């Protein structure tokens, strides 16, 4: 018998053998990441409202931090948040339908008021509340900076005063624009039509006093914020 002649008793049994079919790489990867991906998607859906409302806040911290460092970035966004919370608290106090602060990276933040009445005094108080709260927060940074001789806190104070003073510029979309519109509306309010000898006579009323109060608060707050900027100015080389 030749050595090359196959012997049946030594032949392997291939009846139960199934060849291994290689699986596509992307299918294997998808199967591995599907479970954690499903968890992430589930959490995103569950907390989607919270995530979208505060996403701008987190992006703003990162954006400002890339330019001035993360500590200044966090502090600066916190000052913006305090400013917007001033609007929010005053609007809530008046019983208005107001949204929580929403952030727009590199542009700031805003609160939306749906049922704002055509009342110049109330509207001006909502507009003034933001710079007032922001100015108080900047003053607090000034106090911490003075107590610790920290140029970072002084810089935050200066930025806070500047931010809120800038918002008082009487331009339409800024707080100053809303305050100026309220002032003009209140100033026109006192003209009350009366009849005298058949002719219409316009007499001043209480609205002119409200206009004077709005203008006094506006100018007084602007002066205080400007003084705060002057007192907390820090040369950039000290940061």
Looking at residue 35, its pLDDT comes to: 52
Can you give the pTM of this predicted structure? 0.69
Residue-wise DSSP of the chain: --TTS--GGGS---TT--PPPPPPHHHHHHHHHHHHHHHHHHHHHHTHHHHHHHHHHHHHHHHHHHHH-HHHHHHHHHHHHHHHHHHHHHHHHTT--BPPPEEETTTEEE--BSS--S-HHHHHHHHHHHHHHHHHHHHHHHHHHHHHT-HHHHHHHHHHHHHHHHTTS--TTSHHHHHHHHHHHHHHTT-EEEEETTEEEEE--THHHHHHHHHHHHHHHHHHHHHHHHHH---GGG-
Residue 110's DSSP bridge partners are 102
31-40, 107-116, 179-188: least confidently modelled range? 31-40
Dump pLDDT digits (tens) for 158-209: 999 999 999 999 988 899 999 999 999 888 865 555 445 544 444 445 567 8
Looking at residue 200, its pLDDT comes to: 45
Q: Span 123-137, mean pLDDT?
A: 95
């Amino acid at each position: 018998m030749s050595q090359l002649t196959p012997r049946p008793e030594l032949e392997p049994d291939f009846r139960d053998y199934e060849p291994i079919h290689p699986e596509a790489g992307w299918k294997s990867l998808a199967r591995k990441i599907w479970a954690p991906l499903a968890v992430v998607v589930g959490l995103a859906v569950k907390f989607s409202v919270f995530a979208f409302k505060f996403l701008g806040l987190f992006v703003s911290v990162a954006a400002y931090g890339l330019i001035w460092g993360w500590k200044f970035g966090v502090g600066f966004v916190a000052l913006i948040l305090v400013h917007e919370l001033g609007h929010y608290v005053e609007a809530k106090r008046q019983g208005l339908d107001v949204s929580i602060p929403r952030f727009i990276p590199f542009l700031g933040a805003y609160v939306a008021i749906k049922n704002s009445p055509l009342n110049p005094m109330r509207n001006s108080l909502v507009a003034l509340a933001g710079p007032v709260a922001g100015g108080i927060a900047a003053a607090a940074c000034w106090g911490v900076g003075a107590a610790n001789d920290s140029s970072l806190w002084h810089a935050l104070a200066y930025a806070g005063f500047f931010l809120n003073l800038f918002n008082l510029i009487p331009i339409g979309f800024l707080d100053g624009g809303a305050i100026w519109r309220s002032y003009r509306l209140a100033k026109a309010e006192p003209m009350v039509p009366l009849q005298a000898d058949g002719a219409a006579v316009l007499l001043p009323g209480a609205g002119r006093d409200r206009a004077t109060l709005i203008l006094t608060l506006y100018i007084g707050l602007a002066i205080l914020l400007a003084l705060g900027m002057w007192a907390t100015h820090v040369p950039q080389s000290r940061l």
